[in-house]
């Protein structure tokens, strides 16, 4: 059995850790609330933009933008993947790395060589982990923007991807990130960014029939699609950030609960040891007085 001094030292150490995990949980919870507000304020615009684009397909509009036209055989791809800049967020980073690695292996198994897979990374942890792997080109990492998603960064990245696609340097762009479902659930998500995939509206949904569109539906659609793609990158950056804060909140809550349980066990052990020491002293006193 450990001495009372050792147990008391462990209690002090656990109490210090408990203060840290409790503070980190409060900070992560506040950041999560802020990230949720950012997503909720942006979603109505994003949904309405998508609704307008889909409605333009309801008539006789022919989508003429090259961003919607597949290149045929996929010979070169670009992958945009997102994780966090810091750790202590449970399995968030490891799950993102696992999904990214699986995606890279999938393209490698399809016959694409190392120089045919371009990777854009947002987040220091993922950039460091992927830097140890082979099988792709790390074109750029956006480590400095991992903690503070900005529309300017999303616009820059989206414009670069669109330019590469239009010039034929890449044939497909995929997005890989952790989707925020709720505080306890972050879902690995994979989406095709380019070529743009727009589905015709279902029966009974709002359509553009009866509306006068100027200058033409084609021109409007060709203008909206690049804006929508920029918005898409920004949306997944906010979504991934919310998922990160949710994962960290849960991880710090779990660590706090474990620290409280360990603290209770150590206090019980300390009290038992202290009681045994007092009993031994009383026995010595009683034994000495009887002699």
Q: Cα separation of 4 and 12, whole Å?
A: 12
User: How high is the pLDDT of residue 202?
Assistant: 59
Please give the chain's pLDDT, 291 residues, in tens: 578 889 899 999 999 999 999 999 999 999 999 999 988 888 888 888 877 777 776 655 565 678 888 888 899 999 999 999 888 998 999 999 999 999 999 998 998 988 899 999 998 888 888 877 777 888 888 876 657 788 899 999 999 999 999 999 999 999 999 999 888 899 999 999 999 887 655 555 555 556 677 887 778 888 888 999 999 999 999 999 999 999 999 999 999 999 999 999 999 999 998 888 888 888 877 777 666
Within the chain, what is the greatest distance between any pair of CA atoms? 112
- The pTM (predicted TM-score) of the whole model is 0.86
User: How high is the pLDDT of residue 82?
Assistant: 93
Q: Cα separation of 223 and 64, whole Å?
A: 11
User: How high is the pLDDT of residue 221?
Assistant: 81
User: How high is the pLDDT of residue 58?
Assistant: 60
**In the chain, where the domains are located:** 27-250
DSSP code for 78: E
Topology annotation, domain 27-250: Pyruvate Kinase; Chain: A, domain 1 (3.40.1380)
DSSP code for 177: E
User: How high is the pLDDT of residue 262?
Assistant: 95
User: How high is the pLDDT of residue 150?
Assistant: 87
User: How high is the pLDDT of residue 52?
Assistant: 78
User: How high is the pLDDT of residue 211?
Assistant: 67
Map tokens 């743009």 to a residue.
Answer: 196
Q: Cα separation of 171 and 178, whole Å?
A: 24
Q: Six-digit token pair at 179?
A: 């989707």
User: How high is the pLDDT of residue 63?
Assistant: 59
Which residues, 6 or more positions from 114, have their beta carbon under 8 angstroms from its beta carbon?
Answer: 108, 134, 135, 136, 137
DSSP code for 218: H
Which residues, 6 or more positions from 19, have their beta carbon under 8 angstroms from its beta carbon?
Answer: none
Question: 196 and 68 in contact (C-beta within 8 Å)?
Answer: yes
Which residues, 6 or more positions from 175, have their beta carbon under 8 angstroms from its beta carbon?
Answer: 79, 80, 81, 189, 190, 191, 192, 193, 232, 233, 236
């Amino acid at each position: 059995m450990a001495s009372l001094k050792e147990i008391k030292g462990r209690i002090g150490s656990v109490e210090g850790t408990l203060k840290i995990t409790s503070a980190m949980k409060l900070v992560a919870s506040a950041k999560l609330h802020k990230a949720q507000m950012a997503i909720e304020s942006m979603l109505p615009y994003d949904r309405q933009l998508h609704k307008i684009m889909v409605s333009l397909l309801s008539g006789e509009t022919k989508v003429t933008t090259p961003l919607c036209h597949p290149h045929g055989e996929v010979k070169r791809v670009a992958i945009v993947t997102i994780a966090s800049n810091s750790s202590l967020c449970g399995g968030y980073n490891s799950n993102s790395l696992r999904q990214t690695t699986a995606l890279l292996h999938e393209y490698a198994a399809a016959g694409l060589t190392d120089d045919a897979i371009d990777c854009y990374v947002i987040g220091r942890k993922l950039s460091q982990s992927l830097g140890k792997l082979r099988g792709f080109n790390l074109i750029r990492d956006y480590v400095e923007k991992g903690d503070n998603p900005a529309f300017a960064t999303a616009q820059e990245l989206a414009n670069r991807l669109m330019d590469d696609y239009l010039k034929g340097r890449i044939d497909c762009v995929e997005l890989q990130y952790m989707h925020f479902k709720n505080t306890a659930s972050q879902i690995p998500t994979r989406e095709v960014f380019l070529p743009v995939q727009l589905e015709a509206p279902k029966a009974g949904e709002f359509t553009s029939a009866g509306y006068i569109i100027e200058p033409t539906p084609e021109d409007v659609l060709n203008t909206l699609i690049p804006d929508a793609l920029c918005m898409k990158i920004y949306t997944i950056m906010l979504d991934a950030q919310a998922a990160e804060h949710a994962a960290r909140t849960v991880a710090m809550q779990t660590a706090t609960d474990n620290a409280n349980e360990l603290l209770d066990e150590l206090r019980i052990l300390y009290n038992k040891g202290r009681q045994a020491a007092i009993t031994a002293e009383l026995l010595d006193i009683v034994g000495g007085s009887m002699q």
